[in-house]
Structure 1
Amino acid sequence: MRKKYISLRNSISSDNLQLKSQIIADKLNELDFVKRADTLMCYVSFGSEVYTHGIINAWFSQDKEVCVPRVLKGKGRAMEAVKISSLEELEQGTFGVLEPPLEQKNIITPASIDVVIVPGCAFDLNRNRMGYGAGYYDRFLKLISHNCLKVGIAFDFQIMGKIPCNELDIPMDILITEERII
């Protein structure tokens, strides 16, 4: 199923990806919870994922504390949230995704994050998520505060009726696509 949804996502034209991503970003930034948030974490988009660079840059212009994930190699498939002040600080890291360099020490405790934007291959109508299979986000999301809003962003075709999940999978609080908010 992962391959199917990634393949579908990869078939989107660059212009369509940008247009749909902007619609999703606008919906996200209209949420009161996001407007009120002080500390936000967002994945840095890669390939055909919903484009997040614009979301991150908008938060910088609003003087929000912005953090992005960094994978910790050799640490049991863990990741940490690192505060950044510009996308220019990032370099190619694990899996080819842009990450803060290892010498950057602005680590944000997961419990202090107000909103986390989470990627996925697919989501379902119950807000369950199918990630990329390594469990990085599920492990990280166990560390955040129960007050933190977990937001999955995806293209509408990535929403399916039901995803197989188990007790290790962390559901989202809200899903945003270019068509709807779940």
Structure 2
Amino acid sequence: MSETVVEEAAARKQTLRDELTARRKAMTPDLIDTRGLKVQSRFLATEYYQNARTVALYAPIRGEVPTRDILIAALQDEKTVCYPLSHVHGRILSFRAIKSEAELEPGRLGVREPTNSSDLIAVDQIDLFVVPGLGFTNDGKRLGRGGGYYDATLRAASARSRRVGLAFNDQLVEMLPTTGDDVDMDLVVTELSSHRGLFRTWDFLDT
């Protein structure tokens, strides 16, 4: 891909980020909570969640879909639940497991993350990544905040791992400019529907 094409894609992405950020800011906390409950309920019904043994969640910020119900359900279902750390070596996120919500504390960037006493979980041991984003397409394309950390992490994960993006319906767009660094979702779940992306099998067998 030529440098000009990459630059044009980056410019289009930034324009979309501005638009989608404005949409999220327009949502009230009550609306986020109400719609967030529906997104989480729909996610918990997926085969991806039900068959995963180790689930990577995120702590929501700036209007992202809440994940607390997923955390509570996953702990009750005796799954290993881990969250990313703010201290990043290179582009790949590190994850620590938690056994209760109380183990999440505000980190270096103000985002809640596991305490240092929690167990580290290797990226290649994670079955299912639950991924936030500013925007998604029906076929699994994702637009993040621009850091590229999730894309790098998902590329470094095991080939048997799967990815589900959580979003509000307002975050769905028809098209997203992409480059070779972007990683697609297997499924995108909103409060109204679920959209097949890669939609690979959910057996998490080594491939």
TM-score tier by shorter-chain length is over 0.9
CA distance in 2, matches of 1:105, 1:87: 12
CA contact (8 A) 1:45 1:53 kept: no
Q: Which runs of 5+ in 1 are unaligned?
A: none
1:105 CA drift (Å): 5.0
Deviations 1:146-172 (A, max 9, x none): 221200000011010111110111110
CA contact (8 A) 1:79 1:136 kept: yes
1:52 CA drift (Å): 0.8
Q: Does 2:106 match 1:87?
A: no
Provide the secondary structure at the position in 2 that maps to 1:150.
strand
Deviations 1:44-78 (A, max 9, x none): 112311011221122111111100111224x2243
Say what the alpha-carbon RMSD is for the aligned residues: 1.4
Q: Does 2:173 match 1:127?
A: no
The TM-score with structure 1 as length reference comes to: 0.93
CA contact (8 A) 1:71 1:78 kept: no
The TM-score with structure 2 as length reference comes to: 0.82
The amino acid across from 1:96 in the alignment is: G
Q: Show the counterpart of 2:111.
A: 97
1:24 CA drift (Å): 0.8
Q: Show the counterpart of 2:180.
A: 167
CA contact (8 A) 1:40 1:113 kept: yes
CA distance in 2, matches of 1:143, 1:4: 30
What does 1:104-119 align with in structure 2 at a 5 Å threshold?
A: 104=117, 106-119=119-132
CA contact (8 A) 1:114 1:147 kept: yes
Q: Show the counterpart of 2:55.
A: 40
Q: Would you tell me which structure has more strand in proportion to its own residues?
A: 1
Q: Show the counterpart of 2:33.
A: 18
Q: Show the counterpart of 2:66.
A: 51
Deviations 1:63-110 (A, max 9, x none): 11100111224x224311211111211221243211123x33511111
CA distance in 1, matches of 2:108, 2:194: 31
Matched positions, count: 180
CA distance in 2, matches of 1:169, 1:104: 33
Q: Which runs of 5+ in 2 are unaligned?
A: 1-15, 196-207
- Whichever of the two has the greater Rg, that structure is 2
